[in-house]
Amino acid sequence: MIAIFASLAPRFAQVEAVMTRSLASDEPRIQQLIEQLGSFHGKMLRPALVLLVAEAVGTVTADHVRLGAALELIHTATLIHDDMIDEASRKMALVISAKGASSCGGRNCPPYAPKNPVSSGTT
């Protein structure tokens, strides 16, 4: 974690809890995919900026936490989408298909790539 953000650790936990609740699904296949993704967020820069600005001008509220979570989810979704469009062949990043998720195979893994390999049923 970036040193300046260390004081935000409790708030990051709140942001992650909002993200987890937001992604929960009653559809077993979707829930399984979300669980396979594991820790899917990046460096949390967007939530950090929201929280730091909120602290600078007043008080951090639940609305700020939700906004930070929404920004991080949108950012992560765009990264995953870009990898799908690129077929992840150049980035060696997370591949999501109808059969599941597989982890990053290269050195330059994006921050949302799962740490543990997950079989996608494909080679």
pLDDT tens column, 21-70: 888 889 988 888 777 776 666 788 999 999 999 999 999 999 999 999 99
Cα 93 from Cα 86, distance rounded (Å)? 10
Per-residue pLDDT for 11 more than 60? yes
Q: What is the mean pLDDT of residues 1-5?
A: 71
Q: Between 120 and 96, whose confidence is greater?
A: 96
Rounded to whole angstroms, the Cα distance separating 75 from 78 reads 5
Domain residues of the chain, as ranges?
7-89
Helix axes 62-85, 9-23, angle to 10 degrees: 60
Predicted pLDDT of residue 118:
45
Which pair of tokens denotes residue 42?
A: 């990046």
Residues of the chain above pLDDT 90, percent: 29
